[in-house]
Structures are given as C-alpha cells and as structure tokens.
Structure 1
Amino acid sequence: MPDRLPFPRCSHLSPIRPLAALLLAGLLGAGVAVAAEPAPGPQVPVVSLGSQTVGEGAEFDGSLQAVRQSVLSAQASGRIASLSVKAGDRVKAGQVLAVIDDRATQAGVAQAQAGVAQADAQLANAKAAYERTRDLRAQGFIAQAALDTALAQYKAAQAGTAAARAGQTQASVAQGFTRLTAPWDGWVLATHAEAGALAMPGAPILTVYAPQPIRAVVHVPASQQALAQSAKKIEVQLPGTGKWVVPASTSTVPAADPVSQTVEWRLNLSESDGAGQVPGRQVKVRFAGAPAASDGQRLVVPASALLRRGELTGVYVVIAKGDSGKGFALRAVRTGASHGDGVEVLAGLKAGDQVALDPVRAGLSGAQPAAK
C-alpha cells in the first residue's frame, strides 16, 4: 500500500499543469502583442523656408462677365401673354422669347391698314378728277381756277396716302414691340417676370448672354491704380482649375467710381481660356510688378503647404519628438500676397523652418518628414 501513494497524488495534479501552461502561454502572447512596435507613419516631403526676392504686386477678387449680355425689356404695356423660355435655356438669334398681349396693337394695325385703303381710294379719285379737269381745260371748257383746284386736291390726296402708309408702318413697329426676340445665339441667364404679369415699357423681362467672348472684371482700389498700371504681368486664375492665364486684352474705365473709389478693369479671356466658363463665377486677378528695388526679401511658403480650415490658415512644421525622432505640429500663420506658386508669410514662421508640402498626410498619426 505505501508504494502506491505517489501515483494517485500525481494523477490528481496532472490536469492542473496543462491549464497553467495554457494560461502562461496566453499571458506571454498578450504581452508580446502589447509590446509590438507600431506601424510606421507616412513619409511626408518637406521644404526649408528662406527669404526670397519677390516683386511688388497685388491680388484682387473679380468675377466673370459675358461681353455680350443684354437685359430684354418691354417696349409696350400689357399683360405678358406667354413666356416660352426659362433660365438656363439655349436660344437662337431671332427666336421669340416672350409675347405681350397685343390685341390693342393688332387693332391699331387693322385701323392703319383701313386708313391706307381709304387714302388710296381718295388718291385714285383725285387723280381721275385732275386728269378730266386738265382735258377740259385744254379744250377751253373750264377756267384755269378749276384746274388749279383739281391739282391741289390731287396733291393733298397723295400726301394723305403717304401719311396713311407711315401710320401703317408705325402700327407695325408697335406690333413688333409686343414680341421679345433673342439678339444672338446664347443662353437665358435669368427671367425677371412671369406669364400673366403686367409689362410696362422699360421693365426688364429676360437677361440673355452669349457664351463667347467672356471677360474677367475686377475693381481695383484707386490707391492701387498706379501699381496696376505699372504691372509687368496681369494674370487671371480660372475658377475650378486653379490655372493662371494671361488675358488676351485689357481695358479700363477712364473714371473712378465716386462711391467705392475703385477703377473697373476688364480683362478679355481668349476663346480657349473662356471655354466652359459662365458669368458670375468668382476669379482672382493678380497684378505682378518688377522686383522691388529695396526690401524685396520676403518669406514665401509654397501654396500647396497651406492648410485652410474656415478662417484658420496653418502649416505643419517639423518638430523634434524626443527619442522617437521628428514629427509635425500644426502652426497658425498669417499670409499676404501671392507670388507665383508661393504665398508670402507675414507671421507665424521664420527662415529655416521646415514645413510639410502635403498638409493632409502630415496630419495623420505617426507622420514623419521624408528623408532627403
């Protein structure tokens, strides 16, 4: 009996050892997972900032405007009987766009036509009377006074016919005033009235524009007019593309607005640059001057490095992160004028700072400056 005691004791403890081994392995496995190295963050290219020689210049907001744009107004009073187009519709030159109730003008045309017919009849009668009187006078049957009277009546009938025909032309023109037609091929920009509304002479009904040519219009402050006139290069940033183009021609209004104290500049775009653009879109206009004679050094940051969130403008700057190496920190900056692909920094950065060229990737967790 005593030599069998160890066996049952071992059989009782044997199930615990595998369980302990499993628990130990699980704890070790968990410890290995916790201690695992995190995945490396994205590598973001950076650029070191330095002062650059920039030119004097200015940048203003403007808008696109169709060169051929007209507001079609009523030339006759009456109800708008029909309005066959709406904003956004394409129209052809001569197409009838709206018709004003023309019953009164139709009556005028009919009356004028009747007046012409009456004048023609009177003219024919006066002509026949004059010819008969002339023949009788040649035969000596009537006095010269009767011939003179017949001639005067004939000339009066001729004048009456001319007046009746002029009245008919006037009535026809008035009839034409009740129809608004497109002056050229283009688009309807806006409608200012609806069918059934009362139209009065001069009241706008439609605005029509031709898609080409198109121009950028900018109002330059009078204090900056001299700088704009001396600019070596004028560029327009097309909306939606970010592309800067040189206008085909420029012109200015030779007077300043007395209220806003601005001068209007009209920058005509080439057909290729203006293709696909529509009036009303906002653009930026840049007047670039020659390099400044003095104090022309500016701290310029690439436009792609700027991060704009509402009214906040910032850049990601390279900073040291202890033993872990380098990383990025968002820093707010105040920017100035644009110079080519760069933007002048007025505050928030200094020469020698390194900024991320891709601010979106630099904001990701674990982002690091790319090795040069």
Structure 2
Amino acid sequence: MPTDQRPPVSRWKLGIFGLAAGVGLVLVVITGIRAREEQGTKLKEWTDNQAIPSVAVAPPSAKVLNPTIDLPGRLEAYYRAPIFARVSGYLTSWSVDIGARVKAGQVIAEIEAPDLDQQLLQARADLASQQASAKLSEATLTRRRSLLASNFVSMQEIDERTADLSNKKAAVNSGQANVERLEALAGYKKITAPFDGVVTERNTDVGALINAGGNAGPAMFIVSDISKLRVYVNVPQNFVPSIKMGAKAVITLPEYPNRTFTATVEASSQAVDVSSGTTRMQLALDNSNGELMPGGYANVKLTLQRDTIPLHIPASALIFDSNGLRVATVGADDKILFKKVTIARDLGKEIEIASGLTGDDRIIIAPPDGINDGDQVRVVGGGAKKPTTASEKQDVKG
C-alpha cells in the first residue's frame, strides 16, 4: 500500500520564521524593560511627592474681634483726708463714728491740752508786761522831749529813749504774735471735718493720749468724699496709645453682678512702671448715690481706639523656638518663609498680631515639625489666594 510523503520545508521559510520569532522576542524584552522604567519613574515621582509635606494655609483675618480690654481696677475716694492732731493732750470726746456723714467744719472730737492752756496764759501775761513797759517808755520819752527846750536833757538821752521805745514796741508785737499763735493752736483742740464726706476710719477713743503731728501713729480719723470716686487701673504698655483721654469705660463690681457703671478716663501717669511694664491710669466715676465703696475691687472694660484694623491668626500657627516667636508662611513659589511676629493680644483660639505680617501672607495653620526656610510644600485646600510674583506683576502692568 503506497504512503503519502510531505514535501520537505525549505530552509528559506525556516529562516524567515526564526527571524520573526527573534524580532518578537526582542520586542517583548524591550516592552518589558520600558514598562519597568516607566513604573520606576512613576514610583519615584510618587515617592518624591509623598516626601513634600502638605500644608493648609489661610490669610490673616483683618477684623476687630473685641475692641475692648478687661483689666482689674481699684476704687478710691476722690478726696481722702487722714485727720491728725495739731496739739498734744488727751481726747475728751468724739461725736462721730465710722460710716457717719459729716459736713465741712463740723466738730468730730475734742482734745484737752492743759500744757497748751498754760502756755497761752503765760504768753498773755508776758504780753501784758511788755505792753506796760512800752507804755512807760513812751511816757518817759514824752516827758524828756518837753525838757529838751530848757536844755535840761541832752539829745543823746532823747535818742536813747526813742530807741528803747522802739525795742519795747517790737517786744509787744512779738508777744502779740506769740499769743495769736497759741490761740490758733488752742483752736485745734476741736477736731473738725475738712469737707463734706463720710468717716471711713476712727482710730482713737476717749482718754487716749494724743501726740501732735502725723508721725506718731495712725490718723485719728479718715474722712472721705465718696460722692465721686477715682478708679485706678494699670494698663499694659502696648495698649496705652489705644486709650484716649475722655474715653468711656464700663465698670462692674462683684457686689452688683447685674449692673454696670460708666467711668471716664481723665488722667494718665505718662510713665511705665519698670517692675510691671504698665502705666497707671485714673478714671472718674460718679457715686452721688453713695452705692459704691472706696477701696473696693472693680473690673474695668476699656474701649480701644485704633487707627488700623489689627490682624488675627489661629493660635496653632505660632512657632516658639530658639529663634523667637515666628509664623511659617508660604511664598509664591510654594516654599516656606518664616516671619518673626509680635503679639498684641492672646484671645485664646486666635492671636492678635501687632507686627510682622501683612494681609497678603499665606499662613500655615498647623506647621509640621522639621520644616525650614526654603522647604518646598504642597498647599492643599483653597484657604488663601496664591500671591503674584514680581514677574507676574510686571506682565500685568505691561
């Protein structure tokens, strides 16, 4: 039985087939290498992108969150007079106690001063003697002058008698002045109120030894005029220019929690206390009803008057390190730029900035650790408009 025989494959076809297989293999290898290179490039780009920190930015807010400042204050009487004795002696009586209202010139106590009384009696007796001597000297001079025409007395004697009369009159004047001085002192045996007010202190009692002058102990009485009060408050140095004379302030007191009182700024010490860095200011507060008490604590809310609107930033944006107080900003090239700032007020969640920033700055709300000047960052969100560069500004002008 005959068998079918296939014709042999030519060498030329085998060569073509091998060449095609080799080209396909080379293309597969090249494609794989290129795919790996692209994958490596993308991985590198992704890794580099992940290495750049992402930050959220926002511009400083130009707003007046609270145009006032609350400070502790102290109430004082507008007029306050410690009453000391001008004469020494013993207190015989007093007629007013603490809380009593007094009128100007009202007698509030009396002092018995026997030593002064005896001095006054002696001075009056000395004055009488000096007056008698002066009268005798004047009569003698008159008689001597009548004898001058008969040359019974010399001119020298007349001159001597005239000088003696002048001396006696001077002694009379001196004695009279001493009597008036002692009489004036005797008038101080009655202690009187210097003005209308309230007795806020009494530090003496009947029978107490009284020493003249203000260096021998506490005042016998203290009289205060409380119809108008002074409010003293220590203002931090950086707020002093914002508080003008005549500005109004709101006063609150713990004894009247549901009421407010209005005071007016009327004086400033114009000096900064070295120990506290504050300036003392005085406010006037009407107290015609007598409801408020001198010496009491008060909360003073002062109105701040400013020429410019302050900038505020989140408290989380502040960085305090060895370089001082700084804020991290992002420039037009998305690179970090640190700026030193000074704080005007700490408002809790927000900080009022006194200097160092502008309204166009892009503030990093929560700066990550380890960032430095010039570091590249990625800005996320639309919290702030990207500032224009110098070249962009020139293009706009062109």
**Does TM, normalized by the shorter one, top 0.5?**
yes
- Please point out which of 269, 272, 288 is paired with 2:285: 269
Give the direction of change, closer, same or farther, for the CA distance of 1:261–1:193 in structure 2 (3 Å limit). Answer: farther
Quote the residue 2:297 is aligned against: 282
Question: 1-side partners of 2:202 and 2:290: how far apart?
Answer: 24
Quote the residue 1:225 is aligned against: 237
- Please point out which of 236, 243, 246 is paired with 2:250: 236
Give the direction of change, closer, same or farther, for the CA distance of 1:114–1:254 in structure 2 (3 Å limit). Answer: farther
Quote the residue 1:118 is aligned against: 129
Residues 1:86 and 2:97 aligned together: yes
Amino acid at match of 1:118: S
Quote the residue 1:216 is aligned against: 231
Question: 2-side partners of 1:207 and 1:256: how far apart?
Answer: 31
Amino acid at match of 2:251: Q
Corresponding residue SS for 1:255? coil
What pairs up with 1:124-203 in 2 under 5 angstroms? 124-200=135-211, 201-202=213-214, 203=217
Contact persistence 2:77–2:229 (CA under 8 A): yes
Question: 1-side partners of 2:102 and 2:82: how far apart?
Answer: 14
Q: Percent identity?
A: 25
Please state how far the C-alpha of 1:144 moved relative to its aligned partner: 1.2
Question: 2-side partners of 1:260 and 1:194: how far apart?
Answer: 41
Structure 2: runs of 5+ lacking an equivalent: 1-62, 316-344, 351-398
Corresponding residue SS for 2:126? helix
Question: 1-side partners of 2:187 and 2:274: how far apart?
Answer: 40
Compute the TM-score of the two structures, normalised by the length of structure 2.
0.56
Amino acid at match of 1:81: T
Amino acid at match of 2:200: L
Question: 1-side partners of 2:92 and 2:276: how far apart?
Answer: 41
What pairs up with 1:4-83 in 2 under 5 angstroms? 53-55=64-66, 57-83=68-94
Question: 2-side partners of 1:145 and 1:231: how far apart?
Answer: 80
Please state how far the C-alpha of 1:133 moved relative to its aligned partner: 0.7
Corresponding residue SS for 1:54? coil
Please state how far the C-alpha of 1:251 moved relative to its aligned partner: 0.5
With a CA cutoff of 8 Å and minimum separation of 6, indicate the structure with the bigger relative contact order.
1
Residues 1:294 and 2:311 aligned together: yes
Please state how far the C-alpha of 1:134 moved relative to its aligned partner: 0.8
Segment of structure 1 superposing worse, 118-127 or 168-177: 168-177
Give the direction of change, closer, same or farther, for the CA distance of 1:192–1:61 in structure 2 (3 Å limit). Answer: same
Question: 2-side partners of 1:286 and 1:297: how far apart?
Answer: 24
Contact persistence 1:82–1:195 (CA under 8 A): yes
Corresponding residue SS for 1:67? strand
Quote the residue 1:105 is aligned against: 116
RMSD of Structure 2 on Structure 1 (CA): 2.9
Q: Which has the larger radius of gyration?
A: 2
Question: 1-side partners of 2:297 and 2:74: how far apart?
Answer: 4
Structure 1: runs of 5+ lacking an equivalent: 1-51, 299-336, 339-343, 348-372
Please state how far the C-alpha of 1:165 moved relative to its aligned partner: 0.4
Please state how far the C-alpha of 1:152 moved relative to its aligned partner: 1.5
Please state how far the C-alpha of 1:60 moved relative to its aligned partner: 1.1
